[in-house]
Structure 1
Amino acid sequence: MEQKLMNDKKDYSLLSGLTLAYVGDAIYEVYIRDFLIRSGQTRPNQLHRMATHYVSAKAQHYLIEAMIEADILTDDEKAVYKRGRNAKSHTSAKNTSIFIYRASTGFEALMGYLHLTDQKERLEELIGWSIKKIGEKNEK
């Protein structure tokens, strides 16, 4: 079983946008939770409330739009984002528009892609950029 989990011959770029988003959602959330706890947050209600500033569909839409505007994504990263954004989901958006929901799915697909292709340094660079960007937004 461990050998199957560690099989690095798989071409993760062939996975669907929704599959990449499924992984990316979890990976991004773990990084955000880790960041919040390391920055001194320890109360569960406060952690949850603060995490939503980073992991909500609206926050992820804001971040991916800011990344595109700042021109920090490679062409491959933009393509993965668009594949996730354009994927036909069988679930509906909760508390947001379908446009924002799809953009956030694209953001999560990008995070999943970077994780599965072992681009940890790039993943952490974009997540660090995202944390800083949300911090700046919340200071306004």
Structure 2
Amino acid sequence: MENYFETTLTADQIRTISSIGLAHLGDAVFELLVRTWLCAHGKATGKGLHQATIRLVCAESQSEKAQRILPLLTEEELAVFKRGRNAQVHSVPGHASRAQYGEATALEALLGWLYLQGRRERINQLFCMMMEE
């Protein structure tokens, strides 16, 4: 049985996953980190936790956070980010611009890509920089 909590795929396996697939996984990675951050910092309780999570994981917020880390990305990470930003999405939420949604998708694709490589430390490093106040 595989351990899906500690999944690490080869570079060839990861290359077979679409940018949308990477973003799908990265969305969950980012939301888990945000939820953990909110609980660990006592930022909200009850219904407030859900609302705070939504504010931080929405496309507008993710786009802004992506801008914070762009200068820190390696060449390879930037290539994955750009691939994610250029992914063909078929719908954009009404509260976000197409550019914001593209940046959010790019961030999620990067996080999914790093996660599948088992690079948890790099994810945490980037996440901490995104969450600096």
Q: Same fold, TM exceeding 0.5?
A: yes
In structure 1, the partner of 2:131 is 131
Distance 1:7 1:61 in 2: 27
* Map of 1:50 onto structure 2: 52
Unaligned runs of 5+ in 1: none
Deviation at 1:41, TM superposition (A): 4.2
- Helix, strand or coil at the partner of 2:89: coil
Deviates more, 1:27-36 or 1:46-55: 46-55
Alpha-carbon offset, residue 42 of structure 1 = 5.3
Number of residue pairs matched by the alignment? 130
* AA in 2 matched with 1:97: S
User: Unpaired runs of 5+ in structure 2?
Assistant: none
Paired AA for residue 87 in structure 2:
A
TM-score by length of 2: 0.87
* 2:26 aligned partner: 24
Deviations 1:35-94 (A, max 9, x none): 1111124523211222234211111111112222xx210011111111111000123233
Q: How high is the sequence identity, in percent, across the aligned residues?
A: 31
Residues 33, 17 of structure 1: CA spacing in aligned structure 2 closer, same or farther, 3 A cutoff? same
The structure with the largest helix share of the pair is 1
Matched, 1:75 2:75: yes
Give the whole-Å Cα distance in 1 for the aligned partners of 2:96 and 2:79: 24
